[in-house]
Amino acid sequence: MNAQSKREMTNLEPRPSSSQAGGLRPGDEYLRSLNDGRAVYMDGQLVKDVTRHPAFAASARSAARLFDTAADPSLRERMTFVSPSSGNPVLRAYQIPRTHADLKAKRLASETWSEGSFGMIGRTPDHVAGFFTGYAAVPEVFAAGGQQFADNVVGFYEHLRENHLWATYAIVPPQIDRSKPAHKQTDPTLYAGVVKERDDGIVISGAQQLATAGVLSDYLYLSCIHPLQPGDENYAIGVALPMNAPGMKLYPRRSFALQAANSFDYPLSSRFDETDCFVVFKDVFVPWEHVFIYRNTQVCRDQWWRTPSHAYGNLQAQARYATKLRFMMGLAKRMNEMTGNDAHPQVQVQMGEMAAQVQLVESMLEAQETRATIDAKGVVWPCAKSLYAIMALQSEMNPRMIDMIRELTGAAMISLPSSLQDLESPETAGDIERYMRSANSDARSRIALMRMAWDFIGTEFGNRSQQYEKFYGGASFLVKQNMYRSYDFARGTAMVDAALNLPPEL
């Protein structure tokens, strides 16, 4: 067993003790909190404890490391800021930026977290934290439905912030029949919506997709980002639910961690399978203080676009994507070095094209900060044009990058032994060591790299990851509409008009 997998087995990573954590939530405390009776179903069975189930245990440990990183005293400045209410260090993700430097600091904290999974975990706690921070920055949007809703959303944001909590979200209706609005489905309780109002709160039934990291989170935010129509008021809600809310069931997709025989052959699937959960609600009660939007299609829409929520959440998504692209370039470079193709001019041209795309993403990330604007209340809004430009291109750029890596590697990711055991069996080890090495490395190191590349590109984990890059921010036709709304067409049309009105020269 190599040192890496030994560490996996024994969990020997240094962790901050509770006293060093400065009141932040260390990973072991987070792990204990997951065993709270949440209803997660896998293969038709209720999962008793997600931290012990093989489908989720390793990703829960990966998530726990995020909290350890945040609680690490040497990263206090990077990962936290001082709470305006308690004076304690709290997660940087919950900071409402007041300066461009604050926004950059938020991005750097997201980068540190994303580096912990090489960009593989998309919905780290800072993603939905960005949305709630955006809501708390402009609560007037929620007050349009009644001041109590603005107070509720700010109160809940503070609860998340002060307790270092992780919320995920399910904001897309199930794909049952998209040709009809929510209220015209064959059964009005198919899409998640209000079925009853009580003095002390509301009752929700129906289903919503797709709570990535739902199994690993503390809270679910249930709302709707799809356009709603008159008559859809029951579905125009924004509510927070603890993951163990009675009546709420999580149906995670097939686990890739379960298919990973070991961390050598499946280095990414075995560690970073964040799970995507379909969520079903059966008469789930929500107390009023956790209701932020109630039967209001306008507020339901405005929460995304008239607050900086979508921009803060997706700043994290882009910081994470840039990290993943850097990792992708590192993989490609190491593979070229191993096969001895690195100096080939044509290979360098391909690598140069890929590097140009990665640099584009990194520069657009910085442009969201440097071109950010400050509103009348002093809140910094990332530059929407820079954000949506890169999100709009991502769904086409990512498959092109993946295809170029496939091209660069030929059969390198396939002409490998069936598993780690071939390297260890005396009957096969000799052949493997002799023929599967490269000029500059032994067989074990070469196979480890190629297995990682295959897990990145070709396994179910790798393919889901590509689906994620296409859809995490909505289908690309929607993202392009965001870009359309953000772009300043007037500057271009003014030039065209001026050109048409030039005085005659001839």
To the question of whether residue 212 is assigned a binding role by annotation, the answer is: yes
To the question of whether residue 49 is assigned a binding role by annotation, the answer is: no
Q: Which residues pair with 251 in a beta bridge?
A: 278
Among 200, 282, 280, 204, smallest CA distance to 240 is for 204
Binding residue for ligand FAD, selected from 19, 175, 186, 501, defined by CB under 6 A: 175
Tell me how far apart the alpha carbons of residues 358 and 390 are, in angstroms, rounded to a whole number: 11
Q: How far is the CB of 55 from ligand FAD (least distance, A)?
A: 16
DSSP string, 86-99: T-SEEEGGG----S
Q: Which residues contact residue 467 at a Cβ distance below 8 angstroms, ignoring those fewer than 6 apart?
A: none
Q: Tell me if 211 contacts ligand FAD by CB under 6 A.
A: yes
Tell me how far apart the alpha carbons of residues 123 and 128 are, in angstroms, rounded to a whole number: 8
Binding region for ligand FAD (CB under 6 A) out of 44-52, 172-180, 264-272, 439-447: 172-180
Q: How far is the CB of 274 from ligand FAD (least distance, A)?
A: 9
To the question of whether residue 405 is assigned a binding role by annotation, the answer is: no
495 in helix, strand or coil? helix
Neighbours of 79 (CB within 10 A): 26
| Axis crossing angle, helix 443-457 with helix 309-339, rounded to the nearest 10 | 140
Two tokens at 370? 């440097």
Q: Indicate the pairing of strand 291-293 with strand 167-170.
A: unpaired
The single residue listed with the structure tokens 């271009």 is 492
Tell me how far apart the alpha carbons of residues 177 and 197 are, in angstroms, rounded to a whole number: 27
Binding region for ligand FAD (CB under 6 A) out of 112-120, 131-139, 210-218, 289-297: 210-218
Residue whose CB is less far from ligand FAD, 268 or 335:
268
Q: Tell me if 251 contacts ligand FAD by CB under 6 A.
A: no
Q: Tell me if 279 contacts ligand FAD by CB under 6 A.
A: no
Binding residue for ligand FAD, selected from 209, 262, 441, 466, defined by CB under 6 A: 209
Binding region for ligand FAD (CB under 6 A) out of 42-50, 101-109, 166-174, 291-299: 166-174
Q: How far is the CB of 209 from ligand FAD (least distance, A)?
A: 6
**CA angle (13 as vertex; 8, 19 as ends), nearest 5:** 145
Q: H helices within 116-212, ranges in order? A: 126-137, 140-143, 147-163
Binding residue for ligand FAD, selected from 81, 157, 169, 294, defined by CB under 6 A: 169
Neighbours of 348 (CB within 10 A): 14
Q: H or E segment at 297?
A: helix 297-305
Q: How far is the CB of 420 from ligand FAD (least distance, A)?
A: 28
Residue whose CB is less far from ligand FAD, 288 or 471:
471
Q: Tell me if 240 contacts ligand FAD by CB under 6 A.
A: no
Footprint (CB under 6 A) of ligand FAD, residues 464-483: 464, 467-468, 471-472, 474-475, 477
Footprint (CB under 6 A) of ligand FAD, residues 112-131: 123
To the question of whether residue 370 is assigned a binding role by annotation, the answer is: no
Q: Which residues are annotated as a binding site for FAD?
A: 175-178, 212
Contacts with ligand FAD, residue ranges (CB under 6 A): 123, 168-172, 175, 178, 209-212, 276, 464, 467-468, 471-472, 474-475, 477
